[in-house]
Structure 1
Amino acid sequence: MPYGNIVSVYLGPDETISALTDNGLEELTDMIRAARINTKTWQEFLEDFVDDAALVTRIKALSPR
């Protein structure tokens, strides 16, 4: 995702809020849609982009829709 699609606001030395622009949301939607083509690509997407191993395990246990 290009950095122009992510907006970060620095609130202090240790606090930042980041958000996606409309283009960033569209790009993320496209990435998720492409990842959900089959179980293998979805699991690879989760492993690459979700930093919480317990959450990845819980999501993988759900049946794809």
Structure 2
Amino acid sequence: SNQVGTINLNRWDNGKIIIEFLDPIQLNDANRENLRVIINEVHGLMSDKIEKLSIEAAAYHNK
């Protein structure tokens, strides 16, 4: 998530860390022809996940 400015290394408790992994993406010779399409799809998946994690982290941080 995008939590720039919320982590202070001089603080003992910086809160909760949320870690999630996306499913693996298999590439084979057939996929390589459409690599730009796959890159755009993966970028979209990552952007959506970052947005969801940012919302979840902000909700936890604002408690």
**TM-score bin (small chain):** 0.3 to 0.5
TM-score (norm 2): 0.32
In terms of Rg, which structure is larger? 2
Structure number with the bigger relative contact order (C-alpha 8 A, sep ≥ 6) is 2
TM-score (norm 1): 0.32
